[in-house]
Chain A
Amino acid sequence: DAKTTQPTSMDCAEGRAANLPCNHSTISGNEYVYWYRQIHSQGPQYIIHGLKNNETNEMASLIITEDRKSSTLILPHATLRDTAVYYCIVRVIIGTYKYIFGTGTRLKVLA
């Protein structure tokens, strides 16, 4: 089972910031938080990952709480092309570095 909990769906107005929360209360000290998105039925697209510090790249920002039990992905200026299912993944290291996907958050950006 996935170690993360995300809201099933969210709406966001175009041009506004989209804040997608993720709960991972059982995360271990050496586990990273990864975010991917899947647009329509395409292959998942890597967005960002972090361990305990906040991270930013050209696509998004990742804010991880100090206790590491939750995080928020921020898309600063959402566009219609950001409509997708967003997956928050805790990288479980059980022999290998496989991903365990949950059901994700279906983000709909509204014009």
Chain B
Amino acid sequence: NAGVMQNPRHLVRRRGQEARLRCSPMKGHSHVYWYRQLPEEGLKFMVYLQKENIIDESGMPKERFSAEFPKEGPSILRIQQVVRGDSAAYFCASSLTEANEQFFGPGTRLTVL
């Protein structure tokens, strides 16, 4: 009974490169959420997706960030032209329905050099 899976667990990028973070939800879950956590802070909501649809992206920066959840395969959070301020832990969560509790993955720690 696998939980939410995220990979890679650690990602190092140089300024200007692209970062791709992947999230596989729990089996049977079609609702995916992405959160970002800066050091010593709480998690901040970024985006909520269902299969092939972005439902709420109110927490996403307007530029350089995008997310998708295709019909087949994991959800992807993509950060283009990374800057040092993008260094953070990125957590994915999934839920059975939008009203059910969310279960979180182990996170991807992005470091931008």
Contacts and interface: CB of A to CB of B under 8 A. Distances in A.
SS of A interface (majority) = loop
Most central of B44, B95, B99, B104 by chain A CB within 10 Å:
B104
B39 to A, nearest CB: 9
Interface residues of A, number: 21
Contacts of B107: 41-43
Contacts of B105: 43
Contacts of A41: 89, 107, 109
Contacts of A100: 45
Contacts of A98: 33, 45, 48, 56, 59
Contacts of B91: 43-44
A10 to B, nearest CB: 17
Contacts of A34: 101
Interface string B53-71: 0011001000000000000
Interface string A30-50: 000010100001111110010
Contacts of A42: 106-107
B74 to A, nearest CB: 16
A98 B103 CA distance: 12
Interface string B73-113: 00000000000000001010101001101111111010000
Interface of B: 4, 33, 35, 41-45, 48, 55-56, 59, 89, 91, 93, 95, 98-99, 101-107, 109
Sorted nearest first, the 10 A-B pairs with minimum C-beta distance are: A43-B104, A101-B42, A96-B56, A101-B43, A98-B45, A97-B98, A44-B104, A96-B48, A43-B106, A46-B101
Given A98-B48, A104-B42, 4 more contacts: A2-B42, A44-B91, A49-B101, A98-B45
